[in-house]
Amino acid sequence: MSLEAFLESCRANGVLVDVLRGALELREVVERAASEVGARLIVVDGALAEAADRGELFLPMEARPLREVDLELLKHHDNGVLLVRSAGAAIAEMGAAVLWGDARTQRATAMTEHLMVLIRAECVLDVAKASSVIRGVLTESGGPVHLVIGPSATRDVEHVRVLGAHGPVTLRFAVSP
Amino acid sequence: MSLERRTAEALREGARVERLWRVFEETKRSRDEGIRRLSVDELSLVRESKVSALRRLEELVEEVRTAVERAGGEVIFARGAEDARMTVVRVLKDAGVRKVIKSKSITSEEIHLNEALLSAGIEVVETDLGERVVQLSGGRPSHILGPALHLSREEVAAILTKSLGEGVDPDPGSIVGAVRRHLRGEMMRAAAGITGANAIDSETGTVVVVTNEGNEQFVVGFPGLVVCVAGVEKLVKGLEAAVRVARVQSASATGRMPSYVTLYGPRWWGDGKRFVLILLDNGRTEALSDPWLWQVNLCVRCGACFNVCNPYRTVSGLVFGKNYSGPIGVVWDAITSGFDAANEYAWLCFSCGLCELECPVGIRIPLLISRVKSFSKRDLKVSLLAGGFELYARLGGRLAPLLNRAHKSRAFRAVLEALAGIDKDAPLPDFRGGTLRGALESLNISDDRDVGAGTVVYFPDTYTSFIDWGVGVEAVITLRSLGYKVVLYSGPGTHMPAIQYGGLGLASAVSERITEALLPYVERGARVVVTEPTASYCLREVFPAVLGTPESKTIARSTFHLSELLVKDGLSTEFGRSELAGKLAYYHVSCHGQGSDLMDATRSLLERVGLRVVTRALGCCGMAGTWGMRSGPVGRGLSSEIGRMVTERIRAERPDLVVTESSVCSLQLREFLDVPVLHTVNVLRPSLNRRRT
Ligand code: SF4
Ligand code: SF4
């Protein structure tokens, strides 16, 4: 299933996607995303922090690895935290980023006010292939695995859509080659 | 409180009725757009995976048990509600849990889990926003997906202000912020979480849960013990099948993908959390042996059937519901809480058939509800209506002047109301006198004899045969003018009221007789033509489902509505410009005509004769055959309110006339509108270009 199909699904889901020309462009895109949502703190997950340490990609200077951040900081939405995560896979037909990892990272993903997910183009799969990858994660490493498709939202009050019901108010994907 | 009283009270809440109609109209619109993005193949894949899982459910239960236990989790099979409640209580108590967080689970409503936990001294915190509001209000959910949809923003704000001890503004943003702040701490501290499931993969024991709010991530992610309580019908084989169920469920619910799909199971990343899967039977496997009710186990709980159910929209799930709510709720309540429980509200369903058209897994919801009704104690008046409609119509054919006068007499109407339960203010049709056969004979139109490929058997049904044969005469003249040989059907009518009022047995007997009467013609190449959508619905949908015989399916395939036949046979060009050309016609598609080719065919013919045509998916006008003639809030009361809502929307289109194929819809529409209401054939026939020589 093509990257085009994934982008099409994201458009249908109303999720903003930045398609990067190279991994080096990530810093710029994260900075732009942070400034657009008025984030005061950029936090990155372990995989991204390690990749940056290895020099495979560049992150904004002020970005802090999640391991150094107290989760209490993410408890309240008005602290303006943008969490940047890397997806293990993505599902083209659903426009979903597939996120797995340790409990602390998954909890931070649930709590953060703003979420950005970096997806490598080669990890965009169809439902069948993605299911088999997820099955491997769940049986070998363990869950939970979250398919993240949109910002946290509710229509429980008079059917009016309000974002940030429990989790992120904004969601943005960045697709890298 | 009786259903009549509850309905009467709900009908008095005008603002709520308006709000719910708006909500469900919006949801239907976005759902219609979204569901188009799913291919038919995808929908069939989901249905097939569910059907195949149900066929080998025992095997799947064993498989999931092995998978979960091997990975360190537990599986407990609960036969009934009590069993399930006690199991959850025991698991939590053994773990020393005093407070538990829960994501939305209608299955836990089914077994009254919260009450059991509270009596065992365990505090329960619902984490879905609507569910939490309902919990704080002390009420119960009115919708499987939007538990608090029956509440206004002011009511929600008042509930929260009282419960949270802080002033909450009646604005959705402030309400959501207040609930988020209130729940965050609770969710981060909880020792145990309880979830439901949208699907469970039997091979890995993975639970798949769809949410938009993201509360599931907290319920699964923070506590050290996670208990999933799910119906055994949620089992499917393979993770891909489970993910597909989630995808179809969300697309069919709102037309959009959900914000989150959470997958978890017995194995946890890193830490040693505990997972207990409680598989609930509670009537599900017993239902598998029922010829109709087994289908409820296919339900993915998308709520699409709720959107189009006008009685539900009008009285809300607080009246149209018990533990479950809405159309399929009747069946869920029947199999999980018993027929008496379901029949406390099943009688709000007037068998319009629209919910079935929405169901992504093809559940024949109206027939299942009819099956549920067949287990209720029959009210004599309802039985009279179910069986007596055709008899009364035949009598009216003979005693037209007398009965027409009687219909205008208050005294007679009072007697009719007392004896037969027919509301004294409901619109009743005027009998034309005589029968359709008699009228055709007096016009020297007799049946054509040599039956073959160009022959049609005209099936007029009860109304056109005995009450008002005008449409029948026009239809036969139109058909003959266009060169068809026409045979007038003789035999029983479809007896739709019997189906509506739970008489599936009578429906089956009648459908056998009708099939027997039509088959000899169809076998010689004739087609069956109808002018009442209810007749085509019965011949094409209900009878083959009830009988399941090849003969009934043959009749179904050979049955056409008049407009469909004309368009299919390429005869549109035989119609010229009508005297009504240029006028704006609102085309009211009766419920039983929806989901077929009738709508497009009629619309194209009306446009062909020069009308400007507008139509909207408004659902049932509330008349629903004889339903709107019944006395009481559940009958005429509800029917009038629905009629008012529907005709308000028709009026907004400013039509010069209304066109519909249904005689009984016409009665209702004339009651509320002051423009002419015509049958399609009455518009088309005068525009015919040629006459048969
Ligand atoms: S058949 Fe009509 S009235 Fe009955 S439940 Fe379905 S939509 Fe509602
Ligand atoms: S019966 Fe069909 S439409 Fe209704 S909730 Fe179930 S799956 Fe959805």
With helix as H, strand as E and coil as C, how does B286-306 read?
A: HHCCCCCHHHHHHCCCCCHHH
CA gap A147, B638 in Å, rounded: 43
Question: Cα B328 to chain center, whole Å?
Answer: 7
Percent of chain B with pLDDT over 90: 83
**Res B339 pLDDT > 90:** yes
The enclosing H or E element of A111 equals helix A103-111
Report, as an integer, the average pLDDT of B511-527: 95
Residue B693 has pLDDT above 60, yes or no: no
More confident residue, B36 or B533: B533
Domains and CATH numbers, chain B: 38-282 (3.40.50.10420), 420-568 (no CATH), 574-687 (3.40.50)
Reference B590, options B624, B545, B559, B635; nearest CA is: B624
The pLDDT value given to residue A148: 98
A107, A128, A152 ranked by CB distance to B213: nearest = A152
Q: Which CATH architecture has domain A3-176?
A: 3-Layer(aba) Sandwich (3.40)
| Positions of chain A with pLDDT lower than 70, given as ranges | 1
Helix, strand or coil, per DSSP, at residue B547: helix
Dist CA B263 CA B152 (whole Å): 33
Taking residues B41-64, what's their average pLDDT? 96
Give the distance from residue A107's alpha carbon to the nearest chain B alpha carbon, in angstroms.
6
Which whole number is the average pLDDT over B137-164?
Answer: 95
Say which residue the tokens 């689970």 belong to. Answer: B105
Per the listing, tokens 């992120």 go with A168
Q: Which of B27, B176, B222 sits opposite A165 (nearest CB)?
A: B176
The H-or-E segment that residue B284 falls in is helix B284-287
Is B181 in Cβ contact with A143 (below 8 Å)? no
Fill in the amino acid letter for B396: G
Which long-range contacts link B375-382 to residues 24+ away (Cβ below 8 Å)? B375/B334, B375/B339, B375/B343, B375/B502, B376/B339, B376/B340, B376/B343, B376/B346, B376/B347, B376/B502, B378/B502, B379/B421, B381/B419, B381/B420, B381/B421, B381/B630, B382/B421, B382/B501, B382/B630
Could you tell me the sign of the dihedral formed by the alpha carbons of B431, B437, B443, B448, in that order?
Answer: positive
Check: CB of residue B179 under 8 Å from CB of residue B210. Answer: no
Which pLDDT belongs to residue B36?
84
Question: In the A/B pair of chains, how many CB contacts fall below 8 A?
Answer: 198
pLDDT band for B524, please (50, 70, 90 cuts): very high
Phi, psi of B325 (to 5 degrees): -150, 170
Question: Virtual CA dihedral for B110, B113, B119, B122, nearest 10 degrees?
Answer: -160
pLDDT of residue B381: 66
Q: What is the mean pLDDT of chain B?
A: 94
Distances (CA, A) of B315 to A35, B146, B304: 48, 15, 17
Secondary structure (3-state) at A86:
strand
Residue whose C-alpha is closest to residue B235's, from B108, B54, B391: B54
B179-198 per-position pLDDT tens digit = 999 999 899 999 999 999 99
On whether the CB atoms of residues A99 and B214 are closer than 8 A, the answer is no
| C-alpha closest to that of B659 among B622, B595, B604 | B604
CB pair distance less than 8 Å for A145 and B184: no
pLDDT of residue B394: 87
Q: How far is the CA of B101 from the centre of ligand 2 (A)?
A: 27
Residue B342 has pLDDT above 60, yes or no: yes
Q: What is the pLDDT of residues B596-638, one digit of tens each?
A: 899 999 999 999 999 999 999 899 999 988 889 999 999 999 9
Round to whole Å and give the CA distance between B124 and B192. Answer: 10
**Minimum-distance CB partner of A157 among B153, B180, B260:** B153
| Residue given tokens 């990609």 in the structure block | A57
C-alpha B648 to ligand 1 mean position (Å): 21
DSSP classification of residue B575: B
- The whole-model pTM stands at 0.94
Model confidence at B88, in pLDDT bands (50, 70, 90)? very high
B378 has pLDDT over 70: no
Write down the pLDDT at residue B158: 97
Please give the Cα distance from B284 to A49 (Å, whole number).
Answer: 50
Instruction: Judge whether residue B692 has pLDDT over 50.
Output: no
pLDDT of residue B690: 62
Most confident of B242-246, B392-396, B495-499: B242-246
Inter-residue contact B153 to A134 (CB < 8 Å): no
Residue B332 is predicted with a pLDDT of: 98
Task: Quote the DSSP letter at residue A143.
Answer: B
Is residue B551 very low, low, confident or very high in pLDDT (cuts 50, 70, 90)? very high
- Closest atom of ligand 2 to B306 CA is 4
Q: How confident is the model at residue B691 (pLDDT cuts 50, 70, 90)?
A: low
Would you call A118 exposed, middle or buried from its count of C-beta atoms within 10 A (0-12, 13-18, 19+)? buried
| Segment B278-326, tens digit of pLDDT | 999 999 999 999 999 999 999 999 999 999 999 999 999 999 999 999 9
Nearest chain B residue to A127 by CA distance is B240
Q: Which residue of B has its CA nearest to A146?
A: B262
Domain ranges of chain A: 3-176
- Rounded to an integer, what distance in angstroms lies between the CA atom of residue B348 and that of residue B316? 11
Residue B473: what are its φ and ψ, rounded to 5°?
A: -65, -45
Q: B306 CA to middle of ligand 1, Å? A: 8
